[in-house]
A and B are shown apart, each in its own frame.
Chain A
Amino acid sequence: MLSKNILSDFPALSRTIKGNRIVYLDSAASTLKPKPVIDKLSKFYLENYANVHRAVHTLASESTQMLEFSRKNFANFLNSSEHEIIFTSGTTMSINLIVESLVRSKMLNENDIVLTTLVEHHANFVPWVRLSKLHGFRVEFVEPSLRFGTLAIDDFLKKDINPKVVAITGHSNVTGQLIDIEKIRNIFPNSILIVDGAQLIPHQRIDVKSLDIDFLCFSVHKMLGPSGIGVLYGKSQYLETLEPFLYGGEMIDKVSVEDVTFNVLPYKFEAGTPNIGGIVGANYALEYLNNIGYDEVKKHILDLTKYAIEKFRNIENVEVYGPLDESHCGILSFNINGIHPHDVAHLLDEKFGVAIRSGHHCAQPLMNVLKSQSRLSQFPNSTCRASFYIYNTYEDINILIEGIKRIKEWFDV
């Protein structure tokens, strides 16, 4: 358990619904927000807010400083330079930005190969598939060969290709598997390596330099901060040459009827008024996590996962997806034979106050993989997913398990 008691920072957790206290197990979708973060953000909006980078007055200066301070902290956090930190609206926007900019800059051409996997979130799947149709590059997919959607390093070695781009998640939002980025980098030393860090960064510090990552994307709403804000790290060597994806104000240098020149990094990729409060709030969230300590955050989540996997193993007629070893972190996808995930999720909420997610989790290709391996009498094209974060406890997992057992009795399976 965490050494600091932080539960009182999350007022939603002391709410009860139909007599049950809320057990929030849906942090992989989005985390709750700590009161200290909200209080600081509220103070910022009330006392310091103005548009940034344009005006010379006091409020504009304060806002600009606070925004740039956030950039600096994220740069430190990733061991990058400030001009390599671009604020976007989230992981989805970041990945779309990269793909579109690569294509516009002719860095991805006909017959180039992009390698991705079948465990990706649609955000790191659909842009590649769709833009390959429009621009003629080729997409190859690594298929997970280990239990229920678990990737093995050998699965990447089987691909005897030389991809221009390798785009991979650092942590699956369905199987909970942590991917060894260092090993992937070693297999593809010359490819542009893009990491979807949406699930990874909320519990892990990443050193983009030592791992030699070219692009890293994540969303702040999954790490205690506001929604609608994300970070895109890009290696400056690429950002310098890439064509921007969004054109407009702030990203330009000289504009005339003949042509335009672009602003310096990172502003070249930040057209328009940014999500100022989001960027400032992102920094407050990062500070909050740093205060707890990233190592403690990770250990807490791994402890809970291990505990939950052990508990799940003792329930009959339940299939747990992903790996069963320590590469399984924070996210537990499962199905109960004969009960649809929507029914499980609905009943857990209604009868036990437990919030989990059900559905295909924006990972339809992976659902097909799970279906092909499933021993359920009928695989419902979706799963239940319980996900853990800093504010969860062993007791939360006990309540989840008790709920599942009761639901099984009701459905008689």
Chain B
Amino acid sequence: MYNELIMDYSKLKKYKGKIEDATKVEEGKNLSCGDEITLYLKIENERIVDAKFEGIGCAISQASANLMIENIINKSIDEVKILIDNVYKMTRGEEYDKSVLGLIEELKSIKDYPMRIKCFLLAWKTLELSFK
């Protein structure tokens, strides 16, 4: 699980922090370890123009959050919803559209670690909540 990409992305600083003029702020929790995430989204004309997150967590959750943000900035909400859908399919071991996932696919073996899926999905669940 702990390949170079995950280790690198887990330490990324670029997407960490607060967006002062965020249009959406959403909080998520992982009940098994008490980790929390705050996701800041700046949405203009149904398009995510900026995103950042705060919170500490394990390498998997941090890598996942960083990869997620990298992949949603400058995407429309509809495109992001398709992305989320494919991410969920990947974690369940179902068929998914590789073309929309990009580097996120490097985490596909997460489906074999039932206890770590919660870590991986923390950011994604929070993102999904922010559209509800």
- Where the two chains meet, the residues of A that have a C-beta atom closer than 8 Å to any C-beta of B are 340-343, 346-347, 350, 358-360, 364, 367, 378, 380-382, 410
Among A346, A347, A364, which residue has its beta carbon within 8 angstroms of that of B34?
A: A364
Minimum CB distance partner of B113 in chain A:
A346
Alpha-carbon separation in the docked complex, A342 to B118 (Å): 11
A340 to B119, CA, bound (A): 11
* CB of B58 within 8 Å of the partner chain: yes
B116 touching A382, Cβ below 8 Å: no
Known: A347-B2, A350-B1. A342 touches B34 (CB 8 A): no
Specify which chain A residues have a CB less than 8 angstroms from the CB of B113 in the assembled complex. Answer: 346
Which residues from chain B contact A346 at a C-beta distance below 8 Å? 1-2, 58, 60, 113, 116
A-B residue pairs in contact (CB < 8 Å), sample of 27 = A340-B33, A340-B56, A340-B57, A340-B61, A341-B58, A342-B58, A342-B116, A342-B119, A343-B59, A343-B60, A346-B1, A346-B58, A346-B113, A346-B116, A347-B2, A350-B1, A359-B32, A359-B34, A360-B33, A360-B34, A364-B34, A380-B35, A380-B56, A381-B35, A382-B34, A382-B35, A410-B2
Q: Please give me the residue from chain B that is nearest to A381 by CB atom.
A: B34
Instruction: Identify 16 new A-B residue pairs, CB closer than 8 A, beyond the known A340-B61, A346-B1, A346-B116.
Output: A340-B35, A340-B56, A340-B57, A341-B33, A341-B58, A342-B60, A342-B116, A343-B60, A346-B58, A367-B34, A380-B33, A380-B35, A380-B56, A381-B33, A381-B34, A410-B7
**Proximity bits, B11-28, A CB within 8 Å = 1, else 0:** 000000000000000000
Q: How far is A340 from B34 in the complex, measured between Cα atoms in Å?
A: 12
DSSP majority for the B interface?
loop
User: Nearest-CB distance from A250 to chain B (Å)?
Assistant: 36
Q: Are B34 and A343 in contact, CB atoms less than 8 angstroms apart?
A: no
- By a CB distance below 8 angstroms, the chain A residues around B36 are 381
Report whether B58 and A343 are in contact in the complex, using a CB–CB cutoff of 8 Å. yes
Question: Distance in Å from the Cβ of A344 to the closest Cβ of chain B?
Answer: 9
**Is A378 a contact of B56 with CB atoms below 8 Å?**
yes
CA distance A359 to B35 in the complex (A): 9
The 7 closest A-B pairs by CB, nearest first: A381-B34, A340-B58, A342-B58, A382-B33, A360-B34, A343-B58, A343-B59
